[in-house]
Amino acid sequence: MDAATLGADLRELAAELGAHSVITEKLAAYANDATEHAGLIATPQAVLRPATVDEVRAVVRWAHERGISLIPRGGGSGFSGGAVPVQGGVVVDLERLDQVLSFDPEFWRMHVQAGVLTATVQRLARESGLYFPPDPGAAEQSQIGGNVATNAGGPHAFKYGVTGQWVTGIEAVVPPGEIVRYGGAVRKDVAAYDVMRLLIGSEGTLGIITAAWLRLIPAPEASLPLVAAYRDNASGCAAVQNLICSGVTPAAIEFLDSQALAASAGSFPQPLPGGAGFLVITEADGTAAEAQAAAADLREALVEDSVMLWAPSEPREIMALWRWRDGVSLAVAAQRGGKVSEDIAVPVDRLLDAIEGAHEIGSAHGLPVCNWGHAGDGNLHSTFMVDSDQEDELERAFAASHDLRKMAIGLAGTISGEHGIGWLKRGDLSLQLGAREFELHRQIKQLFDPRGIMNPGKKQ
């Protein structure tokens, strides 16, 4: 896109939306997301900041007519470069769509615009004795629209499911610039094809999600984590399987392998025994009595072969544990200055195979590797740690990631359990999908976005 032409186009849009909604200076803040390596920085040609759904409609119509690429952006906490304008284009910042449109605690529901922080949804629910279970990291930064657009997961997805399971309605703007609405406050709807669930997780490539109806549930009275350490991957994964067989439904089953633990152990809120080479974090929740009974069952399931069991019970300790867990990704990044983090998922009985496979792949590419993530969902954040100043290491990490994804597919898994394809995994979707499935994927994109203006290059 020619800068002079775009300048004229932007002036037209500014005349419609107001000059403060069209930003052409200080664009560096929109050049990256949480994918921390150098290959994924790209300054947009402009940033649009619509304040209403009608303004989003005007933006999409404007872009569709002119063939201008739009890159929707939520909180910028994504890990696959989905919000980075790698092929140029104009970023659409949803931050100003920040209204809680309605909150009916007595009916367990909330209607929010896309730019509302995930933490705000969680806090409002809690203040009314309710619970919004999805808990991807960076809740204070990520916006609910971005969470819906990526169908974000998190530790508690094991019991409660991913973000999409808590969405009963959606509003979006699709090319050529029209508002579509599906579902709403109603909890069941099988009338039309489930286009809502096609938009959920579509990473801004089919349209821009502008609002969502969320379902809530009564908050569990108590959430009691239990941490268990094991000597190695094999005994740790065996413990995870014991846990799943125990007859209890834990709220979460997290893990760290020895390398992830080594990177993050320094800030663990409790002394760790020397022999700890695998950590399992699980949690029992429910009423106080239920959580205590379940916690005892979890302990029984985890005790075999453990080298440590720790059950924080004080709210302060519990918060410290989850804050530490949330920081694992940063701790790993700090090891060598950079990392390429993946999010493959495999059937849970293949967890050990996936961990061992990731280490073999790291060795083959000469890169240190670590794994952590959501063991109960078979979802691994396998990570290749790099010195990001070394172009060569980054290239090797990309090659290793590609091998890792192929391994996941070979284990009957997926190349993405949480982060989405974004830009980082481009080209690998066709490895996972069959020919007809891939053709349908492309045809759906074509159907919604015939001019290819919506987040081009992503999710493909």
Q: Compare residues 68 and 157 and give the one whose CB is closer to a second copy.
A: 157
Helix (H) or strand (E) holding 48: strand 46-48
Q: Is residue 6 near a second copy by the rule CB under 8 A?
A: no
**Binders of a second copy in range 37-76 (CB under 8 A):** none
Shortest CB 226 distance to a second copy, Å:
17
Q: Compare residues 43 and 241 and give the one whose CB is closer to a second copy.
A: 241
Q: Is residue 407 near a second copy by the rule CB under 8 A?
A: no
Shortest CB 329 distance to a second copy, Å:
18
**Binders of a second copy in range 227-266 (CB under 8 A):** 241, 244-245, 247-249
Q: Is residue 124 near a second copy by the rule CB under 8 A?
A: no
- The closest of 19, 132, 35 to 84, measured between CA atoms, is 35
CB neighbours of 89 closer than 8 A, spacing ≥ 6? 1, 44, 45, 68, 69, 70, 71, 456
Shortest CB 46 distance to a second copy, Å:
27
Spatial separation of the C-alpha atoms in residues 363 and 378, rounded to whole Å:
22
Spatial separation of the C-alpha atoms in residues 160 and 225, rounded to whole Å:
16
Q: Is residue 369 near a second copy by the rule CB under 8 A?
A: no
Are residues 74 and 145 in contact, defined by beta-carbon separation less than 8 angstroms? Answer: yes
Q: Compare residues 293 and 320 and give the one whose CB is closer to a second copy.
A: 293
Q: Is residue 283 near a second copy by the rule CB under 8 A?
A: no
Q: Is residue 450 near a second copy by the rule CB under 8 A?
A: no
Q: Coil, strand or helix: which one is 105? A: helix
How far, in whole angstroms, is CA 307 from its chain's centroid?
Answer: 32
**Binders of a second copy in range 151-210 (CB under 8 A):** 151, 153, 157, 161-162, 164-165, 174, 178-195, 197-198, 200-202, 206
**Binders of a second copy in range 418-447 (CB under 8 A):** 418-421, 425, 429, 432-434, 436-437, 440-441, 443-445, 447
Shortest CB 80 distance to a second copy, Å:
10
Q: Compare residues 398 and 438 and give the one whose CB is closer to a second copy.
A: 438
Spatial separation of the C-alpha atoms in residues 156 and 216, rounded to whole Å:
14
Shortest CB 38 distance to a second copy, Å:
25
In the sheet with 222-230, reading across from the earlier edge strand, the strands are 308-310, 222-230, 278-286, 252-257, 372-374, 379-380
Are residues 63 and 70 in contact, defined by beta-carbon separation less than 8 angstroms? Answer: yes
Sign (positive/negative) of CA torsion 373, 217, 213, 52? negative
In degrees and rounded to multiples of 5, residue 14 shows phi and psi of -60, -35
Place of tokens 């983090």: 341
Q: Compare residues 79 and 310 and give the one whose CB is closer to a second copy.
A: 79
The encoded tokens of residue 339 equal: 């990392």
How far, in whole angstroms, is CA 369 from its chain's centroid?
Answer: 21
Using the rule CB under 8 A, give the single segment among 10-18, 277-285, 307-315, 416-424 that binds a second copy: 416-424
Are residues 301 and 240 in contact, defined by beta-carbon separation less than 8 angstroms? Answer: no
Count of C-beta atoms within a 10 Å radius of residue 409: 17
Using the rule CB under 8 A, give the single segment among 261-269, 277-285, 288-296, 314-322 that binds a second copy: 288-296
In degrees and rounded to multiples of 5, residue 249 shows phi and psi of -105, 100
Question: If binding means CB under 8 A, how many residues of this protein chain bind a second copy?
Answer: 87
Spatial separation of the C-alpha atoms in residues 141 and 9, rounded to whole Å:
31
Q: Compare residues 276 and 301 and give the one whose CB is closer to a second copy.
A: 301
Q: Compare residues 151 and 335 and give the one whose CB is closer to a second copy.
A: 151
**Binders of a second copy in range 343-362 (CB under 8 A):** 345-349
Shortest CB 448 distance to a second copy, Å:
8
Shortest CB 402 distance to a second copy, Å:
14
